[in-house]
Chains A and B, each alone.
Chain A
């Protein structure tokens, strides 16, 4: 484009000649130039605006495309790190070893009132008092018409009661869900299960917490939401537990005992197959703890775990086994048993005079205190403590029941030589039936220590060796002899080769000394004695057998028959077949060929 000068000389001269103002020409040219510049700018702006428009179009399309791509993809939920773990908010169920339910949950409702929402408070109060006879009508009316905005009426109500409250039709009466613990088997295994109650409570939910037994000891595990809906499997066998409880209750009545306990343990794993304590209770409706008297008489008291008793002569086998293990004696070693054995100002006597000397086996069979004390003197205090410690008799039992932690064995404050002697026959030392069962299982299963447990184990637990296989076998044979020809002759159950040791201990008076006519009778057994599977400890509290002319209290007359009946009933349930005795060879003559 040729540039036009603002004052082209030719036009200026021509204009001057015409007498016109030459500035007009300059202005015209200036305006032209402006116009040309604007035109140029406009054209450029048009192009650039088009570019802008295209850019925006593309940008919006890009956003739309990205949005479409995102919308078409699958959502990725923010997940917890452990994928596949199911989260269950309710307390885990408890089952026996075969999966039968021992404790589960049930949804019930609590009932509360919000008086500001009430339409007819007086009528509602009357109707409520009719449904729940324990509620005071006047008090309800006072509460409903008062200032309060929120009133708890009932913690738990049944579905029928809930329906009845619904039928009142009062909008100010409201229900909150209440998960509650249900024990469908009632009293069976009540001491093991313990019970559960409400912890922190809100309107719409309440925490269920264990208050006793395995429910409390395993509370964290049962409440763990990460557990999923896997129930907690106990080692108990529901059928065996029911049978043991039934037989034990009958035995307790027959023997006029005020209490009884039984522990049935698998000798190889330490699993408690049955644990019973009488009197018992219904965990669905736990009684209140006794406010007066001996807490040991409460039905809540678990005699098998919490009851620490002097278990008497059942301890003798420990002394004999240790003596054999240490090669101090053998089964046939003859020990002087002339009584009384005097040590300082103490005199040790036997129940009867068993003659001047007995073999070690006969000391066990006849239950001689003097003989056992002499073996204990050979062993010495330190080794005895060490051995009893290995058997778990000096510590609280490590079982998953909250009561066990408080039941430490009672030991002499000063373990002198006379203590060593009395402890060898089970006096001056107290432990629970559970302790005794654990010690028997450890000693008799081949000599491997077991740890008692209430949870189902999937494999045998091999603890450290306590005694040799051979000592264990000899101990079983001595116990078998106690049943076949000793103090526990009522304990024979045909086909199950029961071996065991009786123990009768005078009950200590709270004031000191011992009662003359109150005993704890215990029978600790292993069966079958040649291939040990189970250990059973039966303890009766203050039994009296009155069928004879004079009352008999020794374990041989009280605890032993009860234990035998338990084995007779429980062994088939445990899957043990009775050993078939070879038929008597009557009328057949063996012919020898030579």
Chain B
């Protein structure tokens, strides 16, 4: 009777959303991301006051902005982790289309902030770097295409995605932003590798990358200067690299103390590209190792979970996202210790920058959505195999 009068109690098929999210999400990785963001704010408190002072703002102007952007990034990330892989794929493709158009329009409407590179759209409240948003979208699209090409009688997705990757890399190289161009090519390469590339093709790609680097070195002054600075054996202590290396040395194992660092006063990019030097100087090697461990945890756990994934798209896209994230972090830190030549690449979640942190939020949100635990049909597999 009750049901007839009041209508039936709505039944759910399956678990409620949040408990299922909590059960299936990679809790370690998401904790690492939150800790990294916290460290980023902590370092921002140290690294950004000189810049704020130069630009005539209050001491913690940039930290406040970073908190605002970070909140947006965290919300985006949580929203994305709630979505199904299919929704992620759809959003990724749409996002890729939007970012791609934005990248194409950059030479027309973009702004050069006096660093010799047109990478930003200047909006009223801040600036947007479309290449940051392009990366996650591109990886989703490329993963989708490569996965489709692996189906019997599938489309030639590998060729298509490679063409897109090349075109994007070309656009980025023209900005010039060789770091992001390499990153895009690398992301595609990783997916191609996991998606079943023959070894001779891999060797060919390696050769082509070296050749492309050589050509860029010959033809671009911007690029050549950075490479030259790296190849010279002795670090000029008055260059950015010299200051960064010296800051790490000054810091030693335990750091010179909170707020006692000096490198942030001499490096113009202390709050973005060289944030790790600020961390090393003020908090010492300990914090740097913690940061490295956090990145490593996220990447290795994601790769481990993706190994068990049966859906080719999820596997490929997840691999691309995780590796791009890891490589970006690694390149940033390698530059500070002179393992790699100087590149304008941010440390995800830690460096200051609205575009950077929101794009990282999108990327990690997608990755975490793809690495959620879901039924892989292992039992069926087992039953069929054993039944045959």
Residues of A at under 8 Å CB distance from B?
30, 33-34, 37-38, 41-42, 44-46, 48-50, 52-53, 56-57, 59-60, 62-64, 66-68, 70-78
Contacts and interface: CB of A to CB of B under 8 A. Distances in A.
A44 B196 contact: yes
Given A45-B315, A50-B307, A52-B193, A34 B152 contact: yes
Given A37-B152, A45-B195, A70 B249 contact: yes
Interface residues of B, number: 45
B303 A76 contact: no
Contacts of B319: 49, 52
Contacts of A33: 152
4 closest cross-chain pairs (CB), A and B: A75-B249, A78-B237, A71-B285, A66-B337
A56 B285 contact: no
Given A52-B319, A63-B333, A46 B339 contact: no
A72 B280 CA distance: 12
Nearest to A79: B237
Given A49-B306, A56-B303, A67 B296 contact: no
B181 to A, nearest CB: 20
B51 interface: no
A64 B292 contact: yes
B107 interface: no
Interface stretch (B127-135, B223-231, B238-246): B238-246
Contacts of B190: 52
B208 interface: no
Interface in B249-264: 249-253
B265 to A, nearest CB: 13
Interface string B267-289: 00000000000001000110011
Contacts of B246: 75-78
Nearest to A53: B303
A62 B339 contact: yes
B194 A52 contact: yes
30 contacts: A33-B152, A34-B151, A34-B152, A37-B150, A41-B195, A45-B194, A49-B194, A49-B307, A52-B194, A53-B303, A56-B299, A56-B303, A56-B323, A56-B326, A57-B300, A60-B296, A60-B299, A63-B292, A64-B288, A67-B280, A67-B288, A67-B333, A67-B337, A68-B289, A70-B248, A71-B249, A71-B251, A71-B280, A72-B253, A75-B246
A41 B300 contact: no
A38 B310 contact: yes
B341 to A, nearest CB: 14
Given A41-B195, A53-B300, A76-B246, 19 more contacts: A34-B151, A42-B315, A45-B307, A45-B315, A46-B307, A48-B193, A52-B319, A53-B303, A56-B300, A56-B303, A57-B296, A60-B299, A63-B292, A66-B337, A66-B338, A67-B289, A71-B251, A77-B246, A78-B246
Contact of B249 (A42, A62, A74): A74
A78 B193 contact: no
B52 interface: no
B312 interface: yes
Contacts of B194: 45, 48-49, 52
A67 B307 contact: no
A253 to B, nearest CB: 65
Contacts of B289: 64, 67-68
Nearest to B319: A49
A513 to B, nearest CB: 72
B295 interface: yes
* Dominant SS among interface residues on chain A: helix
Nearest to A73: B249
Nearest to B318: A49
A70 B151 contact: no
A78 B234 CA distance: 13
A74 B306 CA distance: 43
Contacts of A74: 249
Contacts of B310: 38, 42
Contacts of A45: 194-196, 307, 312, 315
B159 to A, nearest CB: 18
Interface string B308-345: 00101001000100010010001001100111000000
A78 B242 contact: yes
Nearest to A62: B339
Given A49-B194, A52-B319, A63 B150 contact: no
Nearest to B337: A66
B304 interface: yes
A470 B304 CA distance: 107
B15 to A, nearest CB: 27
A221 B194 CA distance: 72
Given A52-B193, A78-B237, A78-B238, A66 B252 contact: no
A77 B235 CA distance: 12
Contact of B339 (A50, A63, A75, A77): A63
Interface of B: 150-152, 190, 193-196, 237-238, 242, 245-246, 248-253, 280, 284-285, 288-289, 292, 295-296, 299-300, 303-304, 306-307, 310, 312, 315, 319, 323, 326, 330, 333-334, 337-339
B309 to A, nearest CB: 8
B336 to A, nearest CB: 8
Contacts of A77: 237, 246
Contacts of A53: 299-300, 303-304
B152 A30 contact: yes
A67 B303 contact: no
A150 B299 CA distance: 60
A76 B296 contact: no
B249 A63 contact: no
A71 B303 contact: no
B252 A72 contact: yes
B330 A59 contact: yes
A30 B153 CA distance: 11
A76 B235 CA distance: 11
Contact of A41 (B196, B280, B296, B330): B196
Contacts of B150: 37, 41
Contacts of A57: 296, 300
A66 B248 CA distance: 11
A49 B191 CA distance: 10
Contacts of A46: 307
Contacts of B284: 71
A65 to B, nearest CB: 9
A67 B289 CA distance: 8
A230 to B, nearest CB: 29
B342 to A, nearest CB: 15
A72 B250 CA distance: 9
Contacts of A48: 193-194
A38 to B, nearest CB: 7
Nearest to B246: A75
Contacts of B338: 66
B312 A70 contact: no
A64 B293 CA distance: 9
Contact of A76 (B195, B249, B295, B330): B249
Nearest to B249: A75
Interface centre among A30, A60, A76, A78 (most CB of B within 10 A): A60
A359 B257 CA distance: 91
A48 to B, nearest CB: 5
Given A60-B292, A71-B251, A78-B242, A41 B312 contact: yes
Interface centre among A53, A71, A73 (most CB of B within 10 A): A71
B326 A71 contact: no
Nearest to B292: A64
A444 B304 CA distance: 101
A48 B189 CA distance: 12
Contacts of A70: 245, 248-249, 337
Nearest to A59: B330
Nearest to A46: B307
Contacts of B334: 63, 66
A50 to B, nearest CB: 7
Interface centre among A30, A77, A78 (most CB of B within 10 A): A78
Contacts of A60: 292, 295-296, 299, 326, 330
